[in-house]
Amino acid sequence: MRRGRLAGAASTLLGLLALAAASAVAEVAPETTLLRFSAIIDGTGERLPGREMVVAEGRIAAIGEALDQRYPAATRIDLGDLTAVPGLIDAHLHITYGFCRPSSGDAWRQLLQETPAAERLLAAIDNAARTLETGVTSARDLMALDGVDFQLRELIERGVVPGPRLFLGGTGIHPLVMPPGAAGSTAERVASLGQRAHEVADRGAQWLKIFATTGTGSDLSGTRNYEFPEIEAAVAAAHSRGLRVALHAYGPSVVPDAIRAGVDSIEHAVDVDEPTLRDWAAAGIFYVPTIDHNRWYAEHRGEFGYSGDDEARLRAFLPRNMEMLGRAWRAGVPIAMGSDAVLGMFGENTRELEWFVAAGLTPAAALRAATADAARLLGEQERLGRIAPGFAADIIAIAGDPLADIRAVTRRVRWVMKGGEVVVDRRSTGTPRPARYCP
């Protein structure tokens, strides 16, 4: 009975798509809005000279002072006690990982074996809203099942539900669907992984994720899943279709192969030696370290059925991850912020930046990793991650100076604009909205 209600609720939401599309035709052009802040900090980490900004048709039209003289008819929003920074980008999450019921004590089994796609869609909608409330206006999702991520993206793009703009990787190349060491010749396995990349592109993904090693949840092993010829074929096929490639690597063993194959980002990796790190920096491949999710797993181990030993291993991985991030940053490897958020972690997406500063990055560098640099990873550096004329009006207002204390970004978001629309305003209460879609 409960599954029937969930399926009905999801069907109702999907049915709203036609209504939303029809009503969009009748909308008038958006009005011009003049925003005033105490300061404006760009995604480069620079403090801009003006304190006012004009937004029109979803984009930033002007930045400066006394803009009301040029735009006398603009609607004014006074955010004068808050600092403006660009909308944040979470470059690694799993927004469809969730369910509406309490954890059974084995959350992974509950998610993968007991939660229907309709329930995961409802949970994903809540995850999207919570993510938006952290100031994340764009996100890269790097693993989903049953096409729920594509359904969510369509709902968000049509304005049916709130959420960040999504850059999707679909299911990708994962042992669940592409078992490592499968029967057949090397040539057959190479062809199989290349074909998988084309299938992901056909679904409408922008990214291909290759799970090149083991490692997830309490498993921190980093054992190789695929050999170099397989990785190379998948990368070449993905790039031929215009997809970018993210490679999952918990340990260092496959990182040289990832660099040789020309992936676009490497996720999680630790313990990489200095010569490989120099090659990595020279190749300009991004590193997305995903530190904070292991803290979250350790603190919530009861929901996953993890043991005390599991918790100890997760906590021991944190300093290795931080050490790797510090060395990568000093070596010149480009860095992007990714939370690796799953299940109940949404709403804490940006705490990753606190680890960045603890690892030695300046607050300005940490902010860049979640704005201008993350936009470059996505190939959206001409549209996202900056506060500049012509860029998307993705703007958040925070209490404090993020160049002095990154917690102004991670803990004190008060107002969010995405594409010129105010989507979060909690200036009076400072509290997020509750989840709305899970029964």
- Mean pLDDT, residues 21-25 taken together: 38
Tokens of 190: 């190479």
CATH class of 33-86+388-425: mainly beta
User: Is domain 88-378 in CATH 3.20.20.140, yes or no?
Assistant: yes
Give CATH 2.30.40.10 domain extents, the chain.
Answer: 33-86+388-425
The count of other CB atoms within 10 Å of the CB of residue 193 is: 24
Work out whether strand 286-288 and strand 265-267 pair parallel, antiparallel, or are unpaired.
parallel
Structure confidence at residue 26 (pLDDT) = 32
Torsion of CA 23, 26, 32, 38, to 10 degrees: -10
* Residues facing 341 on adjacent strands: 93
Distance CA 286, CA 82 (A): 31
- Structural contact between residues 164 and 396, judged by C-beta atoms closer than 8 angstroms: no
Tokens of 101: 């019921």
pLDDT at 29 over 50: no
pLDDT at 266 over 80: yes
Give CATH 3.20.20.140 domain extents, the chain.
Answer: 88-378
Torsion of CA 60, 62, 63, 65, to 10 degrees: -140
Structure confidence at residue 27 (pLDDT) = 37
The count of other CB atoms within 10 Å of the CB of residue 302 is: 11
- Interval 45-62: pLDDT, tens: 999 998 999 999 999 999
pLDDT at 22 over 50: no
Tokens of 123: 């949970």
pLDDT band at 44 (very low <50, low <70, confident <90, very high): very high
Residue located via tokens 């919570």: 130
Tokens of 156: 């968000």
**Burial readout 257-269 (b: 16 or more C-beta within 10 A, e: otherwise):** bbbebebbbbbbb
Higher per-residue pLDDT: 159 or 17: 159
Beta strands in 340-407 (DSSP E): 395-398
- Mean pLDDT, residues 400-404 taken together: 97
What lies within 8 Å, CB to CB, of 275 at 6+ separation is none
Distance CA 155, CA 108 (A): 26
Structure confidence at residue 438 (pLDDT) = 80
Give the type of residue at 4: G
Structure confidence at residue 380 (pLDDT) = 98
Residue located via tokens 């909205």: 433
pLDDT at 4 over 70: no
Distance CA 347, CA 168 (A): 20
pLDDT band at 394 (very low <50, low <70, confident <90, very high): very high
Residue located via tokens 């594509």: 150
In what order do the strands lie in the sheet containing 136-141? Answer: 88-93, 136-141, 165-168
Mean pLDDT, all residues of the chain: 91
pLDDT at 13 over 60: no
Distance CA 382, CA 101 (A): 41
Higher per-residue pLDDT: 188 or 432: 188
Work out whether strand 33-40 and strand 244-248 pair parallel, antiparallel, or are unpaired.
unpaired
Work out whether strand 75-86 and strand 395-398 pair parallel, antiparallel, or are unpaired.
antiparallel
Beta strands in 113-243 (DSSP E): 136-141, 165-168, 207-211
pLDDT at 8 over 90: no
- Interval 145-175: pLDDT, tens: 889 999 999 999 999 999 999 999 999 998 7
- Interval 317-376: pLDDT, tens: 999 999 999 999 999 999 999 999 999 999 999 999 999 999 999 999 999 999 999 999
Distance CA 56, CA 35 (A): 11
- Interval 79-131: pLDDT, tens: 989 999 999 999 999 999 999 988 889 999 999 999 999 999 999 999 999 99
How far CA 241 is from CA of 82, 197, 234, in Å, comes to 43, 8, 11
Tokens of 411: 């803990």
Structure confidence at residue 10 (pLDDT) = 52
Distance CA 96, CA 73 (A): 42
pLDDT band at 219 (very low <50, low <70, confident <90, very high): confident
